[in-house]
Amino acid sequence: MSAETDFIWWKHGVLCEIWPRSYYDSNGDGSGDIQGIIQKLDYLAELGIDGIWLGPVNKSPMVDSGYDVADYRSIDPLYGTMADFEQLLAEAHKRNIHIIMDMVVNHTSDQHAWFKESRLSRDNPKRDWYIWHDRKRGRPPSNWKAAMGGGVWQWDNATKQYYLHSFFKEQPDLNWRNPAVRQEIYATMRFWLDKGVDGFRCDVLNYFLKDDQLRDNPTSLSAGIFNGFQKHLYSRSQPGMEEILRQMRAVLDGYKDRMMVGEVFVAQDGPAMAAAFMGDGDLCHLSFEFSLLFTKWDAARFKEMINGWFAVLSAKGWPCNVLSNHDQPRAVTRWAAGADTQKRAKVMAALLLTLRGTPFLYYGEEIGMPDSPIKRGDVMDTVGKMYWPIVKGRDAERSPMQWNAGPQAGFSSVKPWLPLNADYSEINVAAQEKDPLSVLNFYRRLIALRREKPALQRGGYEQVPSDKNILAYRRTYHNEEILVILNFAGERKVQAIDSSKRWKVLLGTQRSSESAIDKDGLAVYPYEALILEEDK
Ligand code: GLC
């Protein structure tokens, strides 16, 4: 099969995470909505993306911004109706854009009908859909810490038992050891697949199974505050997950071309676990691995992290790469706040779009949009409300998309649900469309190049020796060879290149296709991103 005919959208394409509340407000209530996304599909098609990961849109009391679902088969009125969602699917598909939904099934909202029933009595038929336990010697059944702080056990006075919540107490964990729960979730997957949804981003997959003997986690100071200073040996990532993943995969395999990408949130277990969730390409199609996202701005560290990630993948495992998402400060804020922001943003873009594996952009990344600093009075994320000022929450990276320099950045006709970034008059889509050297136009060219060059989409990856400030690698496919050179430093550096070959510039931040390449050692400009091809 030729590279052109076996294009698999989730493997060879480019995906983009959209935070629905912040993309575009079509009805003037200050919040983004599904109709708003429909209106921006042409923009996304022009950017060149193949799929959207849509943040959670199911009915939710929004204690965790939609990651607390009250009804899996509904659309929250904040975002629109089921008809709007079906229209989004149809309009996206017309433009060859796939839609994957967030599937948040480690836990439900405490407002979900199942939990309301479950907590009614100890013998309720839904009791065993959640994880209930008695007191153990007057104390909670285990010492496990929740991801949002405090313990995982919440006392329920009505039935005098604790229920388990890995996140907020309003997010009780489902009991994945109960076959009835599994069947219901698989039926829900089919409900959306039947509508034409192309796949799922599965929230915190590695939290589904907990130790059934409820053994205590060991204390570990090095695990840090976000892990509650304990190693989550028993409260997460337990054996048995493979069976669940196989069952989920079987549901997807009943349809054509559908996929799932797992969020395997394993700060402490490293990339090996993310790789294990893909099996030999027969479990999750992709799984997120966050070590790149947590790396410092340092070419040598990136080399290590990339090698570490690629080394643990099985023969059929496929990497997926992400630099920003809705849970962490944006990449430009982490790596490029202050000086040289746009230059560094282009280095990141070139990295993400030329690395082996499926790239996931985060909305606004393509214009180098930074976090929008948040004040106490504007906080929406419960994490920020609870832990301000030590932890300010995740609102800063969820701010409204900056469409133009007009009122409300062209996002809405009224004051948006979160404050706009003060710099939107400079950093916005309309301004960057007009500027051939903008970050946006660089992303567009990179995505187009990736589509054109099989070596970038699916080729092999090999690091090339370089200065410690440079990350250089070859991507090869059959007789196509591409060399990527990324200078992380604000100074000129020298990169040796194979002088037995002739090279031409495919794309670069500081050179054009006419630039000659000096074979005896290339003087790389500060923050230069350069993509060369062997000229045959
Ligand atoms: C995931 C989501 C995060 C959410 C948590 C609980 O990590 O990305 O936003 O708070 O799961 O559902």
Q: Please state the pTM of the whole predicted model.
A: 0.97
Q: Which CATH architecture has domain 460-534?
A: Sandwich (2.60)
HSE (side-chain half, CA atoms, 13 Å) at 115 = 25
Give the Cα separation of 184 and 269 in Å (integer).
Answer: 30
Give per-residue pLDDT as tens, 137-162.
999 999 999 999 999 999 999 999 99
Residue 267 confidence (pLDDT) above 70: no
Give per-residue pLDDT as tens, 463-519.
999 999 999 999 999 999 999 999 999 999 999 998 888 999 999 999 988 887 877
Distance 101 CA to ligand 1 centre (A): 14
Give per-residue pLDDT as tens, 319-357.
999 999 999 999 999 999 888 999 999 999 999 999 999
Model confidence at 127, pLDDT cuts 50, 70, 90, reads: very high
Contacts of 419 (CB under 8 A, 6+ apart): 372, 374, 375, 378, 399
Q: Does the beta carbon of 265 sit less than 6 angstroms from any atom of ligand 1?
A: yes
Give the Cα separation of 101 and 260 in Å (integer).
Answer: 9
pLDDT in the model for residue 222:
87
Residue in 162, 178, 58, 160 with CA at minimum distance from that of residue 108: 58
* CB distance 535 to 503 below 8 Å: yes
Torsion (CA) 432, 436, 438, 439 in degrees, nearest 10:
110
Give the Cα separation of 320 and 288 in Å (integer).
Answer: 6
Mutate to test the pocket of ligand 1, among 53, 57, 107, 204 (most ligand atoms within 8 A of CB): 204
pLDDT in the model for residue 223:
86
Mutate to test the pocket of ligand 1, among 53, 67, 69 (most ligand atoms within 8 A of CB): 67
Q: What percent of the chain has pLDDT over 90?
A: 91
Give per-residue pLDDT as tens, 379-410.
999 999 999 999 999 999 999 999 999 999 99
Give the Cα separation of 439 and 361 in Å (integer).
Answer: 13
Contacts of 377 (CB under 8 A, 6+ apart): none
Distance 67 CA to ligand 1 centre (A): 6
Give the Cα separation of 358 and 225 in Å (integer).
Answer: 31
Strands 522-524 and 493-495: antiparallel
Q: Which CATH architecture has domain 113-164?
A: Alpha-Beta Complex (3.90)
Domain limits, CATH 3.90.400.10, in the chain: 113-164
Position in ligand 1 atom list of the atom nearest CA 64:
10
Strands 199-202 and 286-288: unpaired
Position in ligand 1 atom list of the atom nearest CA 67:
12
Report which residue type is found at 111: Q
H/E run at residue 445: helix 439-452
Q: What percent of the chain has pLDDT over 70?
A: 98
Model confidence at 265, pLDDT cuts 50, 70, 90, reads: confident
* CB distance 533 to 482 below 8 Å: yes
- DSSP letter, residue 130: B
The runs of H, that is alpha helices, within 174-293 are 179-195, 241-253, 271-276
Contacts of 76 (CB under 8 A, 6+ apart): 57, 58, 59, 60, 66
Give per-residue pLDDT as tens, 285-300.
999 988 889 899 999 9
Model confidence at 2, pLDDT cuts 50, 70, 90, reads: low
| Nearest alpha carbon, ligand 1 atom 4 | 67
pLDDT in the model for residue 85:
99
Mutate to test the pocket of ligand 1, among 167, 325, 398 (most ligand atoms within 8 A of CB): 167
The set of catalytic residues is 203, 263
Domain limits, CATH 3.20.20.80, in the chain: 9-107+179-450
Residue 268 confidence (pLDDT) above 60: no
- Average pLDDT of the chain, as a whole number: 95
Mean local confidence (pLDDT), 172-193: 98
Which of these CATH numbers, 3.30.360.10, 3.20.20.80, 3.90.320.10, 3.40.250.10, describes 9-107+179-450? 3.20.20.80
Residue 222: is it exposed, middle or buried by C-beta count within 10 angstroms (0-12/13-18/19+)? Answer: exposed
Mean local confidence (pLDDT), 58-74: 98
Give per-residue pLDDT as tens, 81-123.
999 999 999 999 999 999 999 999 999 999 999 999 999 999 9
Q: Tokens in use for 454?
A: 């099989």
Give the Cα separation of 495 and 524 in Å (integer).
Answer: 7
Mean local confidence (pLDDT), 432-436: 98
Q: Does the beta carbon of 383 sit less than 6 angstroms from any atom of ligand 1?
A: no
